[in-house]
Homo-oligomer: A and B are copies of this chain.
Amino acid sequence: MVETLSDIGEFGLIERIHKLLQKIGVHTPGVSLEIGDDAASLKPRPGFELLITCDTLIEGRHYLPRHITPVDIGRRAMAINISDIGAMGGKPLCALISLGLQSGTLVADVEDMYRGFVTELNPLGASIVGGNLTKTENTVFIDITMIGEVRKENLMLRSTAQPGDAILVTGYPGQAAAGLNLLQNAKAYKNLHAHPLVKAYNLPAHRALEGQAVARSQKAHAMIDTSDGFLADLGHICQESHVGALLIQENLPISSELKEAAVEMGMDSYQLFLQESDDYELIITCSPKQVLNIRSAIKEISQTPIHEVGRIRDASEGIELMLPDGTKRPISLKGWDHFK
């Protein structure tokens, strides 16, 4: 029998999830109450601040159900939230999962989604401590609240970039946008699951460990993740820090996959890099003489590539892109805006 949520009901589903998590999840030190009371309870560690963030995935909008497995939906939703904690220099501790599901949803698919959550949480020693299940007629959604911790002195902000700072970026932004574009224009019969750009979209790598390493080094000035797209998030840094920026086009890391796909799709790879793209890389600014220290702090814990792509400058100079011929072009701050 293929079980759906209407077969086992809300409380039946909670029990199944609870049992699954006891079997496959880890226990977070400091969490004294998990699922099963009105609220979860957490004993904070002295000397640490708590970080709290939430992010929502809507079916069809933030993932395409035809092109992603329930396990990967769970991984994707969790990685996005982990990324926000990591971008502040924090370590994820625990998550609350709020799901809007349909009566006909398969129990096995929900369990798979939780396997995905746990796949991302376990390596970080973080756990699911509560949540909410509700029925929705149409829109399936996953809203995750993530709690993390950071030593006060390591807290990384977006509002503390300084003119003269080098701008660094991890990984290869733009790949997720290209992957999404491939999926949206794919022929129905085409299985793109294993395409590297589709994987970049479906399963973005968070950089929480890298973010923690940067924060611990205390050598960076500002940090943010690229959840709204590289340019929009650099724009957030500029706006909150009251600074401008100059990007060097030649230095923008465009992966070979992105370059190829852009040609095939008739798109500009730099545009894909700059625009909205769900990559969840880190933008880091630091004094130019600290670039090597930041690089080695990250290198100690991961192979993630880091590229220096420009300089922070005075706000009055705006945000510009320097082309290979040396001319500078103002670029407008555009990113993912849900309602426009």
Contacts and interface: CB of A to CB of B under 8 A. Distances in A.
Interface of A: 5-6, 8-11, 13, 32-33, 36-44, 46, 49-56, 58, 60-62, 83-85, 87-88, 90, 94, 96, 98, 100-101, 103, 129-139, 141, 143, 145-148, 150, 152, 155, 157-159, 224-225, 227, 240, 336-340
Nearest to A152: B43
A148 B129 CA distance: 15
B50 A50 contact: yes
Nearest to A94: B52
A143 B56 contact: yes
A96 B225 contact: no
Contacts of A131: 54
B84 A39 contact: yes
Nearest to A157: B37
A64 to B, nearest CB: 14
A224 B38 contact: yes
21 contacts: A8-B339, A33-B157, A39-B52, A39-B84, A41-B88, A43-B49, A50-B147, A52-B129, A52-B130, A54-B96, A54-B131, A56-B134, A56-B143, A58-B100, A60-B137, A132-B143, A134-B338, A135-B339, A136-B141, A137-B138, A139-B139
Name which of A44, A54, A134, A339 has the most chain B CB atoms within 10 A of its CB: A339
Contact of A338 (B10, B46, B96): B10
A42 B53 contact: no
A225 B5 CA distance: 25
Contact of A98 (B56, B130, B134, B336): B56
Contacts of A141: 100, 134, 136, 139, 141
A5 to B, nearest CB: 4
A339 B46 contact: no
A140 to B, nearest CB: 9
A87 B38 CA distance: 7
B39 A148 contact: yes
Contact of A38 (B44, B53, B58, B152): B53
B132 A55 contact: yes
Given A10-B340, A134-B141, 4 more contacts: A39-B53, A39-B87, A56-B100, A135-B338
Contacts of A227: 38
